[in-house]
Amino acid sequence: MQRCGTLAGVKTLPCGHVAHAATNRLCRHLLPATIDYHALLTGRGLEADYCCADCLRAAERGEAVPLVPVCEGCYARYADDEDGQFSGWHGEPGIAERPEPVGGRLLVTPLPDELGTVLDIAGVPSLGRASLGGQQRAGGSQADWLVLTADARLVLFDPASGTCEEIATDVLTPEADERPWVRRVFRHRLHVSDDGRFAAVVNDRGHHGRVVDLGTGRVTMTLHGGDYHPEEVPFSLAFTVHAGRTVVVHRTDWNRLDVSDPATGERLTPPGREGGYQDYFHGALYPSPTGRWLADDGWVWAPCGLVTAWEMTAWLGAGPPESADRGNPEEPGDGLSVQDLCQRWYGWNQPMCWIADDLFAVGGIGDDEERLLAGVRIFDLAAGTEVRAFAGPRGPLFGVGRRLYAAAPAGLEIWDPFTGHRTGRVPGFVPTALHRAAQEFAAVDGRRLLRLSIAAQP
């Protein structure tokens, strides 16, 4: 005889449903009420039990929390944010470890005194191009680094030989702090195109920037990113490749992006009203490795951070600017290829990077700046879905091959983004830049350049 309330292992649960139990539990006070709730991490990845505020305080006092099994549907109402208000993570997530050889070694190179104070660095590929004055370069290392100095110079530094070559002068655009009551983190930032032909020096959380032809040292473009709340975001700029040529994407107003030829400054964006009606503040830009996608870490009023991405060909067309296929000028705003990846209340300027041409990693798990758990969410733009999330990575993110690198405060960490395992660490080395051509990370430490070579995972 079958006992009442059971059927092939299915039984009546405290939530009142005859069903299979969820893996994790709820406190009794969440049944059947819809109230604010907290996540008690179990130490198994991102798995968590959920409880009310009173039970959380009891747990913090070391008291037992009345957690009960519930059906998968009742648990999912909280896990999917359908009931109540998520109020934060507590405890520690589980982090999977799969140690692998890191490879490479940390190299320390003294910086020449002639560089003075270094503001930023960026890797450039081996430069087989004309130098200043039209003279051909004697060579150039595969691991050359372009240095932005405090006295407004761009200098090419070869760590192998210790030599410097001045490329350009007067590349900084000073600007006054027009809103001193806003505690902005102002900095001059250096961007370099993948082909090593162009650089841009911009004022993050400011208005201005310049594009420089590294072959001639000439400023080819003077940039202005708009006057409305620039202090909230880095200066929106990225070099990428479209239709076989290097282009520069840059903010021309708080809610407008344009694309230009960095050699001439010619505007390539198709005519239209993109940005004329968007209530979206463009932020840091992340072009995918082949230039197919462009991701944008911007925000909208409430305020709320909103990470979006769209296809460059949908925006600019598949051919060169003079072709008949000019694309959709309004694509970044409401085009068919636009994907809203995630949003976080009061939170933007989070670490992000591409892992492959369709896989994008966004730092921080959660939907509120004050309740973000250290970790990453991985989005597959080709499929239009979030494919996984795992706890652990923190700090600036870099994607190389099939590995995710996080410049954590305690040192570089290496993660497998396809499984969520941490595979290696380099304690004490916190890189700020990646030289993709040389497969090398770097950081400036006082008067020293620290470098670590890596091998991309196939």
Q: Kindly state whether residues 150 and 183 are assigned to the same domain.
A: yes
More confident site: 327 or 306: 306
| Residue-wise pLDDT tens digits, 60-109 | 999 999 999 999 999 998 888 777 889 999 999 999 999 999 988 899 99
> Considering only 61-75, 127-141, 279-293, 311-325, which range has the smallest mean pLDDT?
127-141
Question: Which of 94, 128, 156 is the C-terminal boundary of a domain?
Answer: 94
> What residues make up the domain containing 310?
106-453
Q: How many domains does the chain have?
A: 2
Separation between Cα atoms, residue 21 and residue 455, nearest integer Å: 45
Whether 90 and 111 map to the same domain: the answer is: no
pLDDT at 241: 96
For residue 222 the two structure tokens come to 């003077």
**CATH assignment at residue 423:** 2.130.10.10
29-33, 164-168, 399-403 — which is least confidently predicted? 29-33
Residue 393 predicted with pLDDT over 70? yes
Q: Is 92 exposed, middle or buried (0-12, 13-18, 19+ CB in 10 A)?
A: exposed
The span from the CA of 260 to the CA of 245, in Å, is: 11
Q: What is the mean pLDDT of the chain?
A: 89
Note the helical H segments in 262-351: 312-316, 331-334
What is the pLDDT, as a whole number, of residue 248? 98
- At 373 the pLDDT is 96
Q: Which of 94, 122, 145 is the last residue of a domain?
A: 94
pLDDT for 179 equals: 62
E strand or H helix at 56? helix 53-60
Alpha-carbon gap, residue 367 to 382, rounded angstroms: 23
**pLDDT number for residue 279:** 85
Q: Which residue has the higher pLDDT, 270 or 9?
A: 270
Question: Is 70 exceeded by the pLDDT of residue 314?
Answer: yes
- Do 177 and 53 fall within a single domain? no
Q: Do 90 and 110 belong to one domain?
A: no
Whose tokens are 């070579």? That residue is: 453
| pLDDT, mean of residues 272-285 | 75
Same domain, 80 and 164: no
pLDDT digits (tens, 9 = 90+) for 129-165: 444 433 444 444 568 999 999 999 999 999 999 999 9
| The two three-digit tokens of residue 290, written as one number | 């082949």
276 and 382 inside one domain: yes
Examine the pLDDT at 115 and tell me if it is beyond 70: yes
Whether residue 55 is found in the same domain as residue 197: no
Q: Are residues 35 and 110 in the same domain?
A: no
The structure tokens listed for 160 are 């192998």
Q: In 3D, which of 228, 212, 209, 232 has the Cα closest to residue 220?
A: 212
